[in-house]
A and B are shown apart, each in its own frame.
Chain A
Amino acid sequence: MGILRVIGRGTIAIFAVIGRISIFSANGLYHCVTPPFYPRLILRQMIEIGYYSLPVVGLTAIFTGMVLALQSYSGFAFAGEAAIANVVVWGITRELGPVLAGLMVAGRIGAAMAAEIGTMRVTEQIDALTTLSTNPFKYLVAPRLIAAVAMLPLLVLVADVIGVLGGFIVSVYDFGFNPTTYLKSTWTSLDTLGFVSGLVKAAVFGFLVALMGTYHGYNSKGGAQGVGQATTNAVVSASILLLLFNFIITAMFFAV
């Protein structure tokens, strides 16, 4: 009986959390599309998410592109230059660009959102918003969701370019490939579906990161320790959800 009780309690708890997150995101989305809007806050979040994540995402992308070229050279050298360019472009635009950018942003932005909103919760700033006739969902959650969904695809676009550039640098300066031929192979390897799927993933990942950051921050309790816990939960849950959705979206695009 004991084991059944444990399983039952665990199952109920999981569904309760899924339910709470679903209600939270439905509420957040509703407030994204109903006035009043806060363009100032959306812009501030866009700068925070888009502009200030550029260095991290750029560095991640360039090293990943370089490593991808090195690895595929040691594995597919027999297949020629075109194969290397192909592996780099596909790897970056379809998977590594969006996933690694998403994970970096989860660490940077998801954590910051959870910490900021969590602190606002435990210092009663969220209650203060309500007493000043301002809906906390509109003021805190909606701008972050909008900004993250808008900025992640742009970040991934940059990551794609820099990642491919990393592969190019290694191929040309290390392996001595002809730059023109390499770029030509890169261009022919680039497929619309793969590229678009990467950007769709980016938008979804942006939503997930902002959702987890705001959700855990909004529901944090119990002072500094609670805020720390919320921050950890935001990053961990966003990363896992991101990888789960990466699989789901890949399956939707490419499973025949």
Chain B
Amino acid sequence: MTQDRNTAKIEVRDLHKSFGSKHVLQGLNLSIEAGKSLAVIGGSGTGKSVLIKNIIGLMEPDSGAILIDGEDVVGMSVAERERVTRKFGMLFQGAALFDSLPVWENVAFGLMQSQGMNRREAREAALEAMVQVGLETDIADRSPAELSGGMQKRAGLARAIATKPEILFFDEPTTGLDPIMGSVIDNLIVKSVRELGATALSITHDMASARRIADNIAMIYEGRIVWHGPVSEIDHSGNEMLDQFIHGRSDGPIQLRVAG
């Protein structure tokens, strides 16, 4: 397979995914250059989560291609897929920390499981990652349930970056946080992505957050990307859907179908 447009780290081609009669992704195209941070914005139910789950491999698309470093991962065997997954780190919306494990083991999880690091070394590395995201190391032995929402997000971020992944995914990184903590998490994300030199894909509906963490913005609507461009251009894009979204207007080309 040729690595055309050779700087694309992630490339999604004509992706389709349906659930029953619901056609969620309808031929979605997207590409992210290596080392760039892209935020996919869009309303609830437009297919943001489905897109990210397809790329990570938590869902199989109905058709289309997903290229990671030029390699199509759709239809790969489990073992091959695992090899690609090692390049990934992900921060989940609710942090998704393992509540059966103390904080440090959560952060060290990838190091111990996929890189085979022993517990002592992994603990050292985990403490280091915790410091990087501004967590006190004395909470290392606590259970995740004892942490506040902001601290859980930080721990989730520490877990995502501990394995030094090439690609980082952020699912609604600021949802459920107060605006100040949201901004703190955003800054940590920017710093972590920069330090790792990683490529980042975030999905969010928080415009303030998208502006902070992204180099480029892609707007998703009805399972397709309707606008894609640098973050500096979103205020004068001339795209009515994007305008409506970033200004949060209820009237415009995007009609919310309120269930009734």
A interface with B by C-beta (< 8 Å): 116, 119-120, 123-125, 127-128, 130-135
Do A127 and B96 form a contact, CB below 8 Å, given A132-B110, A134-B113, A134-B114?
yes
B interface with A by C-beta (< 8 Å): 53, 56-58, 78, 82, 85-86, 88-90, 92-94, 96-100, 109-110, 113-114, 159, 163, 169
B94 touches which of A124, A131, A132, A134 (Cβ 8 Å): A124
Q: Is the CB of B98 within 8 A of A128?
A: yes
B88 touches which of A119, A125, A131 (Cβ 8 Å): A131
Residues from chain A with Cβ under 8 Å of B114 in the complex: 132-134
Q: Is the CB of A134 within 8 A of B109?
A: yes
Q: Give me 15 other A-B pairs in contact (C-beta within 8 A), A127-B53, A128-B97, A130-B58 excluded.
A: A123-B96, A124-B92, A124-B96, A125-B97, A125-B99, A127-B56, A127-B96, A128-B90, A131-B85, A131-B169, A132-B159, A132-B163, A133-B85, A133-B114, A134-B109
What is the minimal beta-carbon distance from A64 to any residue of chain B, in angstroms?
A: 34
A131 touches which of B89, B93, B97, B99 (Cβ 8 Å): B89
What is the minimal beta-carbon distance from B50 to any residue of chain A, in angstroms?
A: 13
What is the minimal beta-carbon distance from B99 to any residue of chain A, in angstroms?
A: 8
Bound complex: CA A76 to CA B99 (Å): 55
What is the minimal beta-carbon distance from A203 to any residue of chain B, in angstroms?
A: 26
Q: Is the CB of A127 within 8 A of B94?
A: no
User: Most chain-B Cβ atoms within 10 A of its Cβ — which of A119, A134, A135?
Assistant: A134
Nearest to A132 among chain B residues (CB) is B110
What is the minimal beta-carbon distance from A113 to any residue of chain B, in angstroms?
A: 12
**11 pairs, CB–CB < 8 Å, chain A vs chain B:** A116-B100, A120-B98, A125-B96, A125-B97, A128-B90, A131-B90, A131-B169, A132-B109, A132-B110, A133-B86, A134-B113
What is the minimal beta-carbon distance from A143 to any residue of chain B, in angstroms?
A: 12
Nearest to B90 among chain A residues (CB) is A131
Q: Is the CB of B113 within 8 A of A124?
A: no
Bound complex: CA A125 to CA B159 (Å): 13
Q: Is the CB of B109 within 8 A of A125?
A: no
Q: Is the CB of B56 within 8 A of A133?
A: no
B56 touches which of A116, A131, A135 (Cβ 8 Å): A131
Residues from chain A with Cβ under 8 Å of B53 in the complex: 127
Q: Is the CB of A133 within 8 A of B92?
A: no
User: Most chain-B Cβ atoms within 10 A of its Cβ — which of A116, A127, A133?
Assistant: A133
What is the minimal beta-carbon distance from B101 to any residue of chain A, in angstroms?
A: 10
Per CB-CB distance, the 8 closest pairs between chain A and chain B, nearest first, are A133-B114, A124-B96, A128-B96, A131-B90, A132-B110, A134-B113, A124-B92, A125-B96
Residues from chain A with Cβ under 8 Å of B99 in the complex: 119, 125
Q: Is the CB of B85 within 8 A of A123?
A: no
